[in-house]
Amino acid sequence: MSDAVSVAGLVKTFGATRALDGLDLVVRTGEVHGFLGPNGAGKSTTLRILLGLTRADAGTALLLGADPWAGAPELHRRLAYVPGDVTLWPNLSGGEVIDLLGRLRGGVDRRRRADLLERFDLDPRKKGRAYSKGNRQKVALVAALASDVELLLLDEPTSGLDPLMEEVFRDVIREEQRRGDRTVLLSSHILAEVEALCDRLTIIRDGRAVETGTLAGLRHLTRTFVEADLAGPADGLAGLPGVHDLRTENGRVLFDVDTDALGPVLGRLATAGVRGLVSRPPTLEELFLRHYHRTGATASTTSTGSATSTGSTASTASAGESAEASR
Amino acid sequence: MSTLTGTGGLVRLILRRDRALMPVWVVIPCLIPVAFVSAFDAGYPTAQARAAYAATSVHNAAFTVTYGPLSGSGLGELVTWRAGFIPVVVALAAVLMVVRHTRAEEEAGRRELIGATAVGRHAGLAAALAATCGAALVLGLLSALALTGAGLPATGSLAYGLGLAAAGWVFAGVGAVAAQLTSGAGGARGAGITVLVAAFLLRGAGDVSARSGGGLGGLSWLSPIGWAHRMRPFAGERWWVLGLAACAVAALTASAAALSARRDLGGGLFQARLGPATAAPGLRTPLALAWRLHRGPLLARAAGFTVLGLVLGGIAQSVGELLDGGSPAARDALARLGGRGALADQYLTAMMTLLGLVAAGYAVQAVLRLRAEESGGRAEPLLAAPVGRLRWAGGHLAFGLLGPAAGLVLAGAAAGLAHGMNTGHVGRELPRLLGAALAELPAVWVFAGLAFALAGLLPRLAAGAFAVLAASLLLGWVGAELRLGGWVTGLSVFAHVPPLPGGDLSVPPLAVLTALAAALTGLGLLGLRHRDLPVG
């Protein structure tokens, strides 16, 4: 089976700004692929190139097996798109927009439309100018999800939605996932969302893919967080290879450890006598911080272990991580 | 906290935002009458020459409609009369500026940002009015200074300048009221401009009627545009007319404040109603969407063109009567001009150019809707659907080409009907004036094509099509008087339209204009095909 999206060495400049700088991205057919990056990383530009709206300066892009620029209007029968910043026609009602976009794509599934309207709790009779940001987002989501298409391109689709609606969105995407015949490219800077939904993900920074793979595969590259309550002093722990950010709080030691150095470190802990131990894989947020912390950016300590704190931004990072981050 | 707290800061914000735009509309209107002073000085140096000029011009109804009544043959009277369209320009600028800083801000959501700070409820409205009225006052004083500097009496110059300022003030008030009515800035602009067009027509009809001894001369007093002329600069100034303007400004400001106090942020007097939950069966193509978006403006303009045609055509008959009972010199002038019918035709020809200008403005506006859709982010979801970019753009282009055509047909037919009923020759006048109006269409399409070409090739400069239109208007207006070379006036697109009705219908220029419009449109399509979308 061919890939739904296959992008290699994509370059796009706007004047002096290099929005994409050799981006590679592969989305396999049938998967939900997370496209993760901070604001301004080049996510929307990539989607616009995939839609044939913007032309790349260099590199190749294939969408559903065809050139997105040359195949532009015809290819769009097979996909639906939710832009990052949804604006509606002020004098058209939400229902009219949903129907118009659906019909342009070749038809609206009435039952599905009604179902989605109910689940997203959206009044389709309001005029475009009367909707709040979240409701405009819902209009675009319903229009996209009610269409029977192969590929969904979603650009930060939950921005402006309240947590309840985010949950509805996740449920709907999970249903799509179970059906298995739809591919979803989900751009986001919300870690929990990608963590909850995506089979594979690509992390993009400054127009380049810095990491791509399954969530499990990425974790493999990263450290494990360990919190231990020790009977005695753990001398020499700091000197072991692969141990980072060692600190003591209330008599407990907390540190990060490279996965391949886990064995010797656990041995040393056992020697000291373990009364309690918490270890867990890094949250996506931690991965994220590692990749998006730029040298020179304001570094501050952030609390680890908060996979659900979706609001964290790239500018907060542990001071100790800057060395790896600027690789 | 008073309702006006923070007005000063907001005025500074307006000045900062408009620091490039405001000097343009404040300074250019001051330069035009100065140019006329030197033109009249050079062209008509003696009192005799000026008297002869005035004797001919006073009977030209097109002049009376466009510039207002001519009160005498002194240099000051001639200059301020010839510059008589400036109050309309100033009023238009005032309406647009007030709406830009009130309703447009509110619609864009920026008013909310400001309103959440320590700013009084009426501060935004007050700041927009203060900045606009201040700019109009500066414009008036600068105009007065410029005319005084050019050697005209200071008193008359001041009366002229204050007349301009008053036109700006009153229409700033009109804009302020209009901004309270609708929840969209476009509707507010439309309402303000409708009042302006009505004021212009009232003044034109009243002045022509007064000149030909009709009983409708009083109409001009109902028009705030007429008040600037009623101050009679250089011809026994009537300062009390300023009081009339002041009363109007006070009443309009009070109404706007009262309306503003009654409504919610973002709301209008006319509340937005709920729309249909599902789209009508026809709403399934980009063209159908374009129809939805252009429908309102199109219908409003169709009505406007019809009224414009009826009024301008209705006046035509009285044009011939202007010379009745005139001096022997006037009768000679009439004979020289080719008799009464020719005089009416000469007037109608000028009015056709006016219709063409209005239609071109509409054409540019309709085509630029495309850019508004693009930069507003509304093009993207359509283009992400199976809609080719040319198909999307074509929908808007169609309205930019056909909308003005419909407007010209309606205006020409209405003018023909009105003039024909007055003269008793509907069967003759209707097709004649319809044809004359349609002769403007190729020139109008050049502007549509220009706007489209810019949208395709230089999207960020697309609004420059309005600047070319304004330059065309300016050239046609001052070009002849300033004795600029033929090639300069030839730059005005409308200079190439054959003078109809009455003149010869020469096809080649029309064919060239049509070809130019087609070429520009082609360039636009080419640009749209190849460039990135959307460009903000």
CA distance B356 to chain A (A): 30
What residues pair up with A27 in beta bridges, in sequence order?
A5
Residue among A53, A88, A95 whose CB faces B277 most closely = A95
Residue B344 and residue B449 in contact, taking contact as beta carbons nearer than 8 Å: no
Residue B348 and residue B439 in contact, taking contact as beta carbons nearer than 8 Å: no
The torsion region of residue B532 among left (phi > 0), alpha (psi -120 to 50) and beta comes to beta
Other Cβ atoms closer than 10 A to B350: 19
Distance CA B225, CA B203 (A): 7
Interior angle at CA A243, CA A241 and CA A249, nearest 5: 150
Distance CA B523, CA A255 (A): 64
A74-88, A209-223, B338-352 — most confident range: A74-88
Which residues in chain A have their CB less than 8 angstroms from residue B395's CB?
Answer: none
Q: Does a cis peptide bond (omega within 30 degrees of 0) precede residue A163? A: no
What residues pair up with A66 in beta bridges, in sequence order?
A63
Other Cβ atoms closer than 10 A to B85: 18
Lowest mean pLDDT among A92-96, A180-184, B438-442: A180-184
Distance CA B119, CA B12 (A): 14
Written as one letter, the residue type at A243 is V
Is pLDDT at A320 greater than 50 in this prediction? no
Predicted-assembly ipTM surpassing the 0.85 threshold = no
Decide if A107 touches B, using CB distance below 8 A. Answer: no
Res B208: pLDDT: 86
pLDDT-derived band at B334, boundaries 50, 70, 90: low
Side-chain-side CA neighbours of residue B534 (13 Å): 21
* pLDDT, tens only, B476-520: 777 766 766 667 777 888 888 998 888 888 899 999 999 999 999
Domain ranges of chain A: 3-218, 223-280, 284-325
Check A101 against B381: CB less than 8 A apart: yes
What mean pLDDT do residues B390-413 have? 96
Decide if A57 touches B, using CB distance below 8 A. Answer: no
> Structure tokens of A199?
């089979």
Mutation test of the interface with chain B: which of A97, A104, A149, choosing the one with the most B Cβ atoms within 10 A? Answer: A104
Residue B492 and residue B476 in contact, taking contact as beta carbons nearer than 8 Å: yes
> Structure tokens of B76?
């000051």
* pLDDT, tens only, B181-228: 887 788 898 899 999 999 999 998 898 888 877 778 888 899 999 999
Q: Which CATH superfamily is domain A223-280 in?
A: ACT domain (3.30.70.260)
Report chain B's mean pLDDT, rounded to a whole number: 88
Check B284 against A106: CB less than 8 A apart: no
Q: Does a cis peptide bond (omega within 30 degrees of 0) precede residue B501? A: yes
Is pLDDT at B382 greater than 50 in this prediction? yes
Which residues in chain B have their CB less than 8 angstroms from residue A85's CB?
Answer: 377
* Residue for token pair 């940002």: B113
Q: At what angle do helices B123-149 and B86-101 cross, to 10 degrees?
A: 150
Contacts of B2 (CB under 8 A, 6+ apart): B120
Distance CA B16, CA A323 (A): 44
Same fold, A3-218 and A223-280: no
Alpha helices in B102-184 (DSSP H): 103-108, 110-115, 123-149, 154-181
Check A96 against B184: CB less than 8 A apart: no
Is pLDDT at A10 greater than 90 in this prediction? yes
Res A324: pLDDT: 37
Res B335: pLDDT: 63
Nearest CA in chain B to A82: B381
User: How many whole angstroms from its chain centre is CA B416?
Assistant: 23
* CB within 8 Å of chain B, chain A residues 151-190: 153
Check A93 against B107: CB less than 8 A apart: no
What residues pair up with A187 in beta bridges, in sequence order?
A35, A155
* pLDDT, tens only, A236-249: 888 888 888 888 88
Tell me the fold of A3-218. Answer: Rossmann fold (3.40.50)
Strands A3-14 and A58-63: antiparallel
> Structure tokens of B180?
């309270």
Distance CA A13, CA A4 (A): 25
* pLDDT, tens only, A166-179: 999 999 999 988 88
CA distance A274 to chain B (A): 56
Res B447: pLDDT: 97
Check A81 against B533: CB less than 8 A apart: no
Is pLDDT at A203 greater than 80 in this prediction? yes
What mean pLDDT do residues A23-43 have? 92
Residue among B289, B383, B384 whose CB faces A100 most closely = B289
CA distance A21 to chain B (A): 18
Is pLDDT at A326 greater than 60 in this prediction? no
Q: Does a cis peptide bond (omega within 30 degrees of 0) precede residue B404? A: no
Residue among B279, B296, B391 whose CB faces A100 most closely = B279
Decide if A136 touches B, using CB distance below 8 A. Answer: no
Nearest CA in chain A to B380: A83
Alpha helices in B274-338 (DSSP H): 286-321, 328-337
Contacts of A249 (CB under 8 A, 6+ apart): none
| Number of H-type helices and E-type strands within chain B | 23, 0
Long-range contacts of A319-323 (CB under 8 A, 24+ apart): A320/A244, A320/A245, A321/A289, A321/A290, A321/A293, A322/A293, A322/A295
